[in-house]
Amino acid sequence: MAARRTLYCVYGTTDLDARSVELLNLGRELKASGYRFITVTPETHARINARPDNSLAQSVEDIFGWSRWFRLEDRFRELATRLQAAGCLDSRGDEFRSLVRFSSVGSLLFVHSAFPTSAADAVFFGPDTYRFVRAIGSLLAASPAYKPTTIVDIGAGSGCGGLVAAHLLQDTRPRVLLTDINPLALVYSEINAGLNDVQNVESRHSDILTNVAEAGDLFVSNPPYLQDSAGRTYRHGGDHLGTDLSLRILEQALFKLPVGGKLLLYTGVPVMGGIDLFWRAAGPLLAHDRFRAEYDEIDPDVFGEELESQTYAECDRLAVVQLLVSRVGM
């Protein structure tokens, strides 16, 4: 059976190892200091960092937001020591760099992988994350009587989706289950639960829901949706132009969805000849009166650079969509 880890956030007491506790405490200090950073797309990030004046970090935001190299000046020396203790310090000659970023979502703060996210186990965070949590907020605001007691975030990554949902429902203190196939994502999601004082959280290693026996009355997921030639966990959505993973999530979540439960899937779709290839496959799965589905295209054109690759040579565009499924009958 896959390894299982549980996190109980009670006044900062967790089962995290020493390095993770160091990272958690660093995040708490950043949060207390008023640190804020909104993470942009990788393309924008690269352009901003390429500006001549941005070659080296001049501020804490440069280090933990823009992932810039820095020198051991007095103002950054302690930060370097803390990052080294957390196992998150990179070096080249007399310059150093944080291997993590911290990004803001409202009043919350999340740790995730530094730019560029080239490692196979990188934990991604960016504009898709912001659109995803906005969709969660809109769902809960539109249904004030809907108070899920168990939230399952499938492929949680940083844990942002499930933790934001729990934060919005903090008066009822729902149980939160964060699942991911990437062990580093589980570590970061645990740290983020502690960093944002979200209680009753469990992280669990699972390929989608294969290691999840229990049902949840709210499933949320923002999975990878590109067909990535490098097979990076945070980016690769499988075959059929990256739609396989989203379809597997839909199938497995529908099987576990109780009456009254909801699934919110935020994902990307390839459009070819005017046809949404994800919806063409997903529609038949929902063609039953036990389900009610609402499907919306949120952004018609994302990751346009992918259209230059051979993989997407026949696609018109890549879009991001929101699928909300409600279980209304047996």
d(CA 166, CA 79): 31
Residue 123 Ramachandran class (φ > 0 left, ψ -120 to 50 alpha, else beta): beta
122, 114 contact by CB (below 8 A): no
- Cβ count near 309 (within 10 Å): 12
At 97-149, the pLDDT tens digits run: 999 999 999 999 999 999 999 898 999 999 999 999 999 999 999 999 999 99
Residue 2 clears pLDDT 70, i.e. is over it: no
Residue 267 Ramachandran class (φ > 0 left, ψ -120 to 50 alpha, else beta): beta
At 55-82, the pLDDT tens digits run: 999 999 999 999 999 999 888 999 999 9
Give the pLDDT confidence score for residue 86 in this predicted structure. Answer: 95
| Spatial CB neighbours of 96, under 8 Å, sequence gap ≥ 6 | 69, 70, 71, 72, 76, 80, 83, 89, 90
Characterize 175-193 residue by residue with b for buried, 16 or more Cβ atoms within 10 angstroms of its Cβ, and e for exposed. bbbbbbbbebbbbbbbbbb
Give the pLDDT confidence score for residue 233 in this predicted structure. Answer: 85
At 158-169, the pLDDT tens digits run: 999 999 999 999
294, 278 contact by CB (below 8 A): no
Give the pLDDT confidence score for residue 234 in this predicted structure. Answer: 84
| Spatial CB neighbours of 271, under 8 Å, sequence gap ≥ 6 | 277, 315, 316, 317, 318, 319
Among 6-20, 162-176, 272-286, which stretch is predicted with the lowest mean pLDDT?
6-20
2-31 mean pLDDT: 67
The secondary structure of 206-269 as a DSSP string is -STTTT--S--SEEEE----B--TT--TTTB--HHHHTHHHHHHHHHHHHHPPTT-EEEEEEEE
Question: 288: which DSSP letter?
Answer: S
Residue 194 clears pLDDT 50, i.e. is over it: yes
7-28 mean pLDDT: 71
Give the pLDDT confidence score for residue 111 in this predicted structure. Answer: 98
Domains in the chain: ranges and CATH:
15-113 (no CATH), 127-327 (3.40.50.150)
133, 161 contact by CB (below 8 A): yes
Residue scoring higher pLDDT (230 or 173): 173
Residue 131 Ramachandran class (φ > 0 left, ψ -120 to 50 alpha, else beta): alpha
d(CA 145, CA 33): 36
Question: What is the residue whose two structure tokens read 């009753």?
Answer: 200
Indicate the pLDDT class of residue 13, thresholds 50, 70 and 90. Answer: very low
Residue 7 clears pLDDT 60, i.e. is over it: no
pTM confidence score: 0.92
At 245-261, the pLDDT tens digits run: 999 999 999 999 999 99
Give the pLDDT confidence score for residue 232 in this predicted structure. Answer: 83
Residue 93 clears pLDDT 90, i.e. is over it: yes
Task: Find how far residue 268's CA is from the centre of its chain.
Answer: 14
Residue 279 clears pLDDT 50, i.e. is over it: yes
At 285-301, the pLDDT tens digits run: 999 899 999 999 999 99
Q: Is 171 strand, coil or helix?
A: coil
d(CA 305, CA 42): 12
Alpha carbon of 212 to those of 2, 5, 222, 253, 266: distances in Å? 11, 13, 18, 10, 20
Indicate the pLDDT class of residue 16, thresholds 50, 70 and 90. Answer: confident
d(CA 234, CA 118): 10
